[in-house]
Amino acid sequence: MILGILVGFFTLLFLGIPIAFSMGVVTSGMLALKGISLEMMVQRMFAGVNSFSLLALPLFILAGNIMGEGGLTKRLMNLANALVGKVTGGLAVTSIVTCALFGAVSGSTAATTFAVGSVMVPEMKKQGYSNSFIASIIGPSGVLGLIIPPSITMVILGITANISIGDLFLAGFIPGIALAAMLSIYASYISKKRGFGIINKEKISSKELFEIFKDGFFPLMTPVIILGGIFSGWMTSTEVAVVAVLYGLILSAFYGELTWERLKFVMIDSAITSAIILIVIAICNSFAWLLTIAKIPELITGFFLKYANTQTQFLLIVSGILLVLGCLTEVTSLIILLAPIFMPIAMQYNINPIHFGMVLIMNFALANVTPPVGLSTICGCSITDKNMGIEDTLPYLIHVMLIVAVAVFLIIFIPDLSTFLVNAVK
């Protein structure tokens, strides 16, 4: 049975079938061969999405889309430009900082990349930045939306691996800020070396600076409201997601940039995105059940206990597995499929679940950057030039991948980077 599952699954992947559908076909086929009613598969799919906590997912997606369409991107970009626009490579660094700020609002990698890229890419081209450099900065910087709370990926991981979503949100701040700083230093260095960009010598008056900060203040309060609601004990993650939607609507109405027509589009787009993710979750849940029947989790556990003698060795092996699989498929399916398998093993090594969760998140960020299926990099290429391929970004993308990989190693070897804030609050 194990051989049939593996051969069928990887054959379908090799043929280009999306991973979720590959899982569904293999699950239904193996159950039929074993004489097990397909009703069991349907029941498992329903059980996978029948969760109150999972309601937070479509709500956070809706909140992020509302804020993205409501004029928040421009205000956050102005704030970032006021903070770092005068350094070498100012626009590149501004793009990274804006991604970090917008990530604290939207929670989505793709949304962050497209929202920031649509504004910043034309300006960067005007200042002489090469297309390959633009794509390798704008795209990978979008993963900051995956790390900095509120993160949709963290919501999925928290529900799937039974980790506190609020704790994951809080744990993401230090790694996210650290990665943003590392990318900013790199962007500034390359800009100076290659002569990219124009140094902005225009001085911003105190009055203008105050207006910029005032304009960007309310969008920046989004993560404060979300984390405050969760850690005060007043709201669950699902309830605070509702508050995030309402807050986004209020801000958009206040700024007057979200029309009824655009709101209709946002609602439909959010529903489609949510439906796609929920279908993947449902199918992956049934496939995970099939793996349990085949006793594959026990085999994986035995492998780790035999070859990984320390916590660090376990985390490095997991990171290697995620790096390979992340190059081949999208992140959501990996989370739903592997997190429930890896988490119990991590507990046997006495690894802090928050630390392990952040190791997974950082590896998923690396997967989003790494070709050939790096979603963030693909988004960066499509925004920069419709005819650009990932291979065109490699001269700079390799450097960026190494930077994200260094961030992964820092989280593995320094657990306090992910647990300090959580322990401090508690």
Higher pLDDT, 405 or 341: 405
Q: How far lies 40's CA from each of 24, 46, 60, 290, in Å? A: 13, 10, 31, 10
Beta-carbon contacts of residue 139 (< 8 Å; ≥ 6 apart): 113, 117, 369, 374, 376, 377, 378, 379, 380, 381, 383, 393
Q: Is 377 a residue whose pLDDT tops 90?
A: no
Would you list the domain boundaries of the chain? 1-36, 51-425
pLDDT of residue 180: 92
Write the pLDDT tens digit of every residue in 408-421: 999 999 999 999 99
Query: With bands split at pLDDT 50, 70 and 90, how would you rate the model's confidence at 198?
Result: low
Six-digit token string for 420: 């300090």
Average pLDDT over residues 111-140: 84
DSSP tag of 354: H
Q: Is 129 left (phi over 0), alpha (psi -120 to 50) or beta?
A: beta
pLDDT of residue 268: 92
Q: Which amino acid is at 375?
A: L
Write the pLDDT tens digit of every residue in 220-242: 788 788 888 887 778 888 888 89
Higher pLDDT, 404 or 127: 404
Q: What is the 3-state secondary structure (H, E, C) of 67-111?
A: HHHCCHHHHHHHHHHHHHCCCCCHHHHHHHHHHHHHHHHHCCHHH
Higher pLDDT, 365 or 12: 365
Q: Collapsing DSSP states into helix, strand and coil, what is residue 164?
A: coil
Average pLDDT over residues 381-392: 82
Q: 72-88 burial string, b = 16+ CB within 10 Å, else e?
A: bbebbbbbbbbbbbbbb
CA–CA dist 65, 380 (Å, integer): 18
Q: How many helices (H) and strands (E) does the chain have?
A: 22, 0
pLDDT of residue 315: 95
- In this structure, are residues 96 and 184 in contact, taking their beta carbons and an 8 Å threshold? yes
pLDDT of residue 201: 55
DSSP tag of 180: H
Q: Measure the N-to-C terminal CA separation of the chain; round to a whole number of Å.
A: 46
pLDDT of residue 310: 92
pLDDT of residue 399: 93
- In this structure, are residues 158 and 422 in contact, taking their beta carbons and an 8 Å threshold? no
- In this structure, are residues 406 and 181 in contact, taking their beta carbons and an 8 Å threshold? no
Q: Is 200 a residue whose pLDDT tops 60?
A: no
Q: Is 254 a residue whose pLDDT tops 80?
A: yes
Q: For the CA atoms of 270, 275, 276, 278, what is the dihedral angle to 10 degrees? A: 120
CB count, 10 Å around CB of 360? 29
Q: Is 275 a residue whose pLDDT tops 70?
A: yes
- In this structure, are residues 312 and 349 in contact, taking their beta carbons and an 8 Å threshold? no
Mean confidence (pLDDT) of the chain: 84
CA dihedral sign of residues 257, 169, 418, 309: negative
Write the pLDDT tens digit of every residue in 280-320: 888 888 888 888 888 877 888 888 888 888 999 999 999 99
Higher pLDDT, 170 or 20: 170
- Percent of the chain past pLDDT 90, that is, above it, reads 19
Phi and psi at 70, nearest 5°, equal -90, 15
Query: With bands split at pLDDT 50, 70 and 90, how would you rate the model's confidence at 84?
Result: low
Average pLDDT over residues 193-212: 71
